[in-house]
Structure 1
Amino acid sequence: MISILKIREQFSLFGELRPQPRTAWTGEIPLPESLAEFYEQIGPWGETYHENIGPVGITLSETAISFPPLLRLWKLQAGYRWDASNGQRVADWRDEWLVIADLNADPFILDAQTGQILFARHGEGAWNAHELAPDLLTFVATAAAIGVVFHLADGDLRNDEWELKPEYRAAAILQAAQVLGDQAEAESFFEALEG
């Protein structure tokens, strides 16, 4: 069983957490219940470097998975749901999709109809999203488990060519498998992060 307290403890390694009420949502669509609970119970907040910008959210270590605070989540949809340069709706973006985090601009998408977390690569000409996790809680627990492995490795994570050392890759996949309950799913999840 996935523990909210454990996820919160893991997320706290990467930045400030703060419960965020549903009223902080600025979106034009209803906030999915699982996402509302994520922000109320885990609440990635992050640092505030400039008062006029506010909190920046948190990034799970070397995974580079970034979660915005709830008050910035709707703005994260720019470039996915609508074209950031002209505000026009992106034709192949589904109404039920909501970007909840990103990996160097590659979106992690909550499908509000199924509850699944999808992943897509930007710059491919179309959004070819595929399932990464069966639900939000499984996704954040898996991402946090991998992030903790990277965090604990500290400066030893990469070799001189800046490649991830095999022992940390294996440890990350092992931790992901403990959350997902399946080695093949863990490898697939990790490979999505590797690009």
Structure 2
Amino acid sequence: MHPIALLDYAGVAVFAATGALAASRKQLDIIGFLFLACVTGIGGGTLRDVILNLPVFWIANSSHVLICAAVAVLVFFSAHRVESRWKWLLWLDAVGLAAFSVMGAAKGLAITGSPVVSVVTGVLTATFGGILRDVLAGEPSVLLRPEIYVTAALVGASIFTLGDVAGLPQIVSGLAGFAAAFAVRGGALKFGWSFASYKSRPGRRPEDIS
């Protein structure tokens, strides 16, 4: 199996696990587990394929949905054994983000040949499923947390794209992009890396604007 395809399946499985863990934190039933696992596992890739005007990947290959379902059932019967489900959710999300940043970028580059589109599809694929998960589960959104998130996907997609355009073997570019994205997101989780946040200031009065 092609290494990029392996990243695709791994990303789906890991993101599905984060959706199921979010369901466990909300004490949902098995249907809730299945729903959140599937939405999280295939959400980003669905948006990518719609934007690229492609057949949606899990319709063309239903094994992705079956993987999400299997992971949901596994987590349903084992989540109670995990000491900190929130910590596992965050770290598994980091793995899924790293995998999907490369997978999304590879698909965007293969279809359009545009490095810009490649990076954008990598970021969207890596982040949209997690955003949907948090909104539906009522968890603190990954976008509203202080540590770096989207930037990690941007780094991974960019490094993969640069390597692929430079002619490196795709497995090398893919591993480099995955490692970079996971390192940035992992560092943000471990050390609290973040950018300076916006500081509000009083607005000017209408009469002060010439």
Does TM, scored on the shorter chain, surpass 0.5?
A: no
Structure with the greater alpha carbon radius of gyration:
2
TM-score (normalizing by structure 1): 0.26
Structure with higher RCO (Cα < 8 A, 6+ apart)? 2
Determine which structure has the larger strand proportion and give its number. Answer: 1
Determine which structure has the larger helix proportion and give its number. Answer: 2
TM-score (normalizing by structure 2): 0.25
